[in-house]
Amino acid sequence: MIVTLIPAELQETIDRIRIDVAALHAELVRYGLVVWTGGNVSGRVPGADLFLIKPSGVSYDDLAPENMILCRLDGTIVEGTPGSDRSPSSDTAAHAYVYRTMPEVGGVVHTHSPYAVAWAAVGEPIPCVTTAMADEFGGEIPIGPFAIIGDDSIGRGIVETLRDHRSPAVLMRNHGPFTIGMDARSAVKAAVMVEDVARSVAFARQLGTPIPIVQPAIDSLYNRYQNVYGQNPTESRA
């Protein structure tokens, strides 16, 4: 086995991200965003061209820090590190492309949450018709292109769709939601909120035609929530 030597200070950071990423997968289960082994969370390692992601096809009950897989930004596994004897998530190439292309992104999440997947299946963005959407997403949640799993095609679609968009979420057509954030936790929060608003707007459509929020109001709500709301809005927007 090839043993990769990692400086002690960087190893401490990797170990911390391992714990965070492993624990955050439980939030996907808690909020009903995944079934069986679908979905994934990854987290960038600050100060290094590395990220951690879950192994492919492993039960959420069996996920632990030691089986999160350390990858380079080209998607290859760092051999000789914990978890390196397993295959990483089938979405690893997509996550890697996002990290390579969007250096501000520190976390990526993919789920198969049912209401968000339903919007993706009809190929329709979720319109901004609630203040919660304006707060969190700054407008509609956009639709990304259809892409086959296995290479970086999904990652390209994510980046192309979100590059000039305030939303931290995209609905990949016929697939489901991907979310990004400054770290893995904020990406998970975005995934939770996507499903929440996808459900609310779907219910609204059953009652009638949802009323859109005008752009100046969206901008005002987004600015307040992102920059004023909470105890320390630069670090947490819970």
pTM of the model: 0.95
Please give the mean pLDDT across all residues of the chain: 95
Instruction: Give the chain's domains with CATH numbers.
Output: 8-227 (3.40.225.10)
Q: Say which range, 55-59, 191-195, 231-235, has the weakest mean pLDDT.
A: 231-235
* pLDDT of amino acid 29: 98
3-state secondary structure at position 179: strand
pLDDT band at 230 (very low <50, low <70, confident <90, very high): confident
Q: Is the pLDDT of residue 167 over 80?
A: yes
pLDDT of residue 229: 84
33: CB partners within 8 A, 6+ apart: 39, 111, 112, 113, 191, 192, 195
Q: What are φ and ψ of residue 222, in 5° steps?
A: -60, -45
Q: Check pLDDT > 50 for residue 192.
A: yes
